[in-house]
Amino acid sequence: MIKVGDTLPAATLMEFSEVEGNGCSIGPNPIDVAKASAGKTIALFALPGAFTPTCSAKHVPGYVEQVEEFKKAGVDEIWCVSVNDAFVMGAWARDQKTGGKVRMLGDGSADFAKATGLTLDLTARGMGVRSNRYSMLVKDGKVAALNVEAPGKFEVSDATTLLAQAKG
């Protein structure tokens, strides 16, 4: 499992962006994790799935609501990573109103989740292999803080916890 001090794994996430006003979209676009995190401070949080109850009601809204506080703490970008395709992540971004606040990045084949060692097997619930719920503060591609949830919990990967670490 990835730990504090480790470099983020080499992986490509996918992002779907909409262009306001003209009904067109951009993407899905590949996001090279190493290039996208180089020289930046990233508040990254990952979760089992788009449109799932805890993720939609608590996890994403917490980061959207505190985006300005994260910026004040020196965070350049906030990333939400989930084992969903870029189109689902784009639809969820619209639903959660994350535009310009949180980058919604799809890990469609769970390659990033597997490379971090932070997978959650939800096959018995019909969801396959997913990402565990966690948050991490990433500085120039390296993990500076990591908060991994126990199964079924939402106690340490929330925006307030990661924001305190970013300020620390």
Catalogue the active-site residues.
55
End-to-end CA distance of the chain: 24
Residue carrying the six token digits 């639809």: 91
Q: What share of the chain is helix, strand, coil (3-state, %, to 5)?
A: 30, 30, 35
Exposure b/e, 139-166, CB count within 10 A at least 16 = b: bebebbbbbbbeeeebeebbbebbbebb
* Residue 81 to residue 2: CA distance in whole angstroms: 15
CA distances for 108 relative to 4, 40, 42, 75, 166, angstroms: 25, 24, 21, 26, 28
